[in-house]
Amino acid sequence: MIAKIGRGANIMGALSYNQLKVDKENGEVLATHRIRETINGSYTVAQLYHSFEPYLIANKRTEKPVLHISLNPDPRDKVNDENFRQIANDYMKLMGYGDQPYVVFKHTDIERTHIHIVSTCVDRNGKKISDSYEKLRSMDTCRTLEQQYQLLAATEKERNPKEAFFSPVDYKDANVKSQIASVVRHLPKYYQYQSLGAYNALLSLFNITAEEVKGELLGQPKLGLVYFALNKQGEKATNPFKASLFGKQAGLETLQKHFEESKEKMKATTTKELLKKTIEIAIHISSNETDFKKQLLEQGINTVVRRNPEGRIYGMTFIDHESRSVWNGSQLGKNLSANVFNDWWKNEIIEERQKSIQNNPYPPSFAEKNNTEKEIEQPHQLFNFLNPKQTACTNNNLGLIEAFGGLLPEANGDDYEEQAFANQMKKKKKRRRHGDQK
């Protein structure tokens, strides 16, 4: 069993995210603890919030008092509702949150049935409950519960010696090509996206971008793809890497097939309506762009905003890590298109500037102007990219795995750049032999 612990500042967002799944019959409230009961046994976000409110009001200085935990048994484990309730109860007790109010939601909208627990890490006196060695304690707790409920143990699964970390690229490291390869070879296995723009939005979370290149071969027009590593400002920081270096999976032809397959799969999913409502809720409870992104990030959704050189928004992309699908705002609804967000945030910026000028008539210094680094959307930490067949974790790798993603195998350890070089050398040898024969 894998546990993911997320922390946030807005409990309304966490409750709304889970309650939407209940409303759409893709989830249910399995259990509650120290939550006000209702007459008919059903709940609303407002009703649930009232039970958490005294703890949040008492909070003294904890910036992120909200806990959003997901417990994910192996897909092969057959866990019934009663066992899920007991597992959630035992997990919270062992982690030191047994006396806290919490709600247990079961999610059934994806093939891997799992539970989410929404709670608070601040006690009734406003003091934060210690989270020392939390990741290590969580792993130990999972191992204990696996034995108690006879679940498949994550640490007992076989590991591939050629596994590589599936994580954001650091262009300053020498092995940039290998870093890009570990991402682009495997993304199509896990995510659905319908266009190159959506693909690039997902790649941007890993500091990568892809571009189409046009050319001619024997008089015939040819299309290809190249990849770049990005710096913190989202700018190209390396020379281009040809897609052929990473195998067919990273090439344009295979990607175009994936786009078409994704269109069909995403048509049949219930994710679209749920994601749309989650975003609409985030709009209403957020005050600006940063807050909006933060609200969605706490629900496992990355927001990638694309702007032209003049600063105008021309693209809004939402990456739902639970359903592992990528959506453009316009696909979800007209009210979530780029123009709507552009006008909304533009008006907010004007209002903020006017207030700033009123409060401080002096313009910002040169140093202050240059201190505004472009915001880069970071991958969400609550949901991982683990292959269901390889969900192994060890205490040594705990920090990296918990921080983001999981372990994915390299594609048979092939080095396509070396193969291309070897083929080139063979051709040169043939030319020499041919020249000698003449």
pLDDT digits (tens, 9 = 90+) for 184-241: 988 888 899 999 999 999 999 999 999 998 876 666 667 889 999 999 888 999 999 9
Distances (CA, A) of 229 to 87, 201, 407, 411, 429: 42, 14, 21, 20, 34
332 inside domain: yes
Report the C-alpha gap between 329 and 343 in whole angstroms.
Answer: 14
**How high is the pLDDT of residue 300?**
86
* Shared-domain flag, residues 133 and 144: yes
**How high is the pLDDT of residue 345?**
81
32 inside domain: yes
Mean pLDDT of the chain: 79
* Shared-domain flag, residues 138 and 228: no
* Shared-domain flag, residues 317 and 395: no
In 3D space, the residue among 358, 350, 361, 306 whose CA is nearest the CA of residue 328 turns out to be 306
The answer for residues whose C-beta is within 8 angstroms of residue 49's C-beta and 6 or more apart is 11, 12, 15
Report the C-alpha gap between 103 and 33 in whole angstroms.
Answer: 7
**How high is the pLDDT of residue 359?**
52
* Shared-domain flag, residues 132 and 191: no
Domains held by the chain: number: 3
In 3D space, the residue among 189, 163, 168 whose CA is nearest the CA of residue 179 turns out to be 168
Q: For residue range 151-187, what is the model confidence (pLDDT) as tens digits?
A: 988 754 444 434 444 678 988 887 889 889 989 988 8
CA atoms within 13 A on the CB side of 270: 13
* Shared-domain flag, residues 6 and 134: yes
**How high is the pLDDT of residue 433?**
63
For residue 212, what are the β-bridge partners? 225
* Shared-domain flag, residues 13 and 128: yes
pLDDT at 413 over 50: no
**How high is the pLDDT of residue 248?**
85
* Shared-domain flag, residues 37 and 115: yes
Dihedral, 317, 319, 323, 324 alpha carbons, nearest 10: 110
pLDDT at 312 over 50: yes
* Shared-domain flag, residues 299 and 351: yes
Residue-range definition of the domain harbouring residue 63 = 2-156
437 inside domain: no
Among 343, 369, 395, the domain-final residue is: 369
Query: Where residue 409 falls among pLDDT bands split at 50, 70, 90?
Result: very low
356 inside domain: yes
425 inside domain: no
Q: For residue range 34-74, what is the model confidence (pLDDT) as tens digits?
A: 999 888 888 999 999 999 999 999 998 999 999 999 999 98
* Shared-domain flag, residues 195 and 258: yes
* Shared-domain flag, residues 26 and 133: yes
In 3D space, the residue among 57, 53, 49 whose CA is nearest the CA of residue 15 turns out to be 49
Report the C-alpha gap between 177 and 250 in whole angstroms.
Answer: 13
26 inside domain: yes
**How high is the pLDDT of residue 424?**
59
Helix intervals (H) in 5-67: 11-23, 45-58
233 inside domain: yes
180 vs 405: which has the higher pLDDT = 180
306 inside domain: yes
* Shared-domain flag, residues 255 and 115: no
Q: For residue range 90-146, what is the model confidence (pLDDT) as tens digits?
A: 999 999 999 999 999 999 877 778 999 999 999 999 999 999 889 899 999 999 999
Distances (CA, A) of 418 to 162, 205, 414: 18, 28, 9
In 3D space, the residue among 420, 396, 388, 406 whose CA is nearest the CA of residue 182 turns out to be 406
- Residues of the chain above pLDDT 90, percent: 42
**How high is the pLDDT of residue 412?**
35
What is the arithmetic mean of pLDDT over 309-338? Answer: 91
Among 100, 126, 156, the domain-final residue is: 156
Among 156, 183, 216, the domain-final residue is: 156
- Asked whether 100 and 123 are in contact (CB, 8 A), the reply is yes
Query: Looking at 279-293, 357-371, 391-405, which range is the least confident one?
Result: 391-405
**How high is the pLDDT of residue 361?**
44
At residue 65, the 3 state secondary structure works out as coil
Dihedral, 81, 83, 84, 86 alpha carbons, nearest 10: 130
* Shared-domain flag, residues 40 and 142: yes
Backbone angles phi, psi at 355, to 5 degrees: -65, -40
In 3D space, the residue among 125, 268, 248, 129 whose CA is nearest the CA of residue 192 turns out to be 268
Report the C-alpha gap between 421 and 423 in whole angstroms.
Answer: 5
- Asked whether 289 and 305 are in contact (CB, 8 A), the reply is yes
133 CB-contact burial (10 Å; exposed 0-12 / middle 13-18 / buried 19+): exposed
Kindly report the number of other CB atoms within 10 A of residue 168's CB atom.
19
